[in-house]
Amino acid sequence: MALKTAELHQVRGITFAAKGGSNHWVIMDGSPELGGSNAGSSPKELLLMALAGCTASDVVPILQKKRVPFSDFAIRITAHDREEHPRILTDVHVEYIVYGADINPADVERAIELSTTKYCSVSAILRASVPLRHSFRIEPSEKAVARPEPVDQQER
């Protein structure tokens, strides 16, 4: 079992700098009303970004391996949290947007299914405590973007 590490240091108030085993720093902060200075994303925003990054890291290589002719890819996440403390997430919706022409929706659907049910560890962790929904849409491509070669599946 691989050991994961993280550390956090207070900058000022509720502004924190944190880094994981990869040695990359992230700033976390809150609003001035909470003692922060809006200098970075909130921990909950980072959680949603982690979900987007994790599932995108699955879906994009799967689409590439299937030779799906997409030119760009995006994810939009919406989530609600409850009003009382702890202000946990009550629902999360992940919208996948694939840009291109002549894309078979079944290929996109299968890539998302594999990510959400098999590969994305962040999705699996969140699914244990909050309902996760997803949808996708295919949009015409306005620009051609060079895509990197497919990569092997890595643990996230």
> Nearest Cα to 12, choosing from 43, 86, 23, 34?
34
All residue ranges of the chain with pLDDT < 50 are 144-148, 151, 153-156
pLDDT attached to residue 156: 37
Q: What is the DSSP letter of 144?
A: -
List 76's β-bridge partners, or say none: 95
The predicted pLDDT at position 46 comes to 96
Q: What is the DSSP letter of 31?
A: -
pLDDT at 141: 83
Beta-strand runs (E) in the chain:
6-12, 15-20, 25-28, 70-81, 89-100, 132-139
Q: What is the pLDDT of residues 71-114, one digit of tens each?
A: 999 999 999 999 999 999 999 999 999 999 999 999 999 999 99
Q: What is the CATH number of domain 43-139?
A: 3.30.300.20
